[in-house]
Amino acid sequence: MTPLQRQKFKDIIESELTLLKIEIAATEEDSKPTITPDSAIGRISRVEAIQSRHIGEASVRARKARAMQLERALTLVDKEEYGLCVACEEPIPLARLRLIPEATLCVICAASLEA
Ligand SMILES: [Zn+2]
């Protein structure tokens, strides 16, 4: 990987991370309980409110996990090992890294681990 390519991935990771943090902040705001126990709303809408809160919490968790991976990628991006598959040590195709800049596995190893 050339220094210019590394710089580009750094930019991609940083902008994804910024976006993710904005989304996390927005979702956390949404998932705050807005209903007090004695509020006079129907049972169904209360269940719906609880369910949508759970969905909000799950997506916050997923986003936080991705943010951690991106932050890790950011610490690696200037190093030789960035862009190399941790399993087979082959370079991860740049097209894959553009989609998943935090990827640590090539397509083949990722597929064989998921199988
Ligand atoms: Zn691999």
Tens digit of each residue's pLDDT (9 = 90 or more) over 25-37: 988 877 666 665 5
The one-letter amino acid at 105: L
**Do residues 78 and 89 touch, judged by C-beta distance below 8 A?**
no
90 Cα to the center of ligand 1, angstroms: 6
Q: What is the pLDDT of residues 85-106, one digit of tens each?
A: 999 999 999 999 999 999 999 9
Q: Which residue has the tokens 């705050």?
A: 32
92 Cα to the center of ligand 1, angstroms: 7
pTM: 0.78
The C-alpha torsion from 9 through 74 and 91 to 7, rounded to 10°, is: 30
Q: For 3-114, CATH number?
A: 1.20.120.910
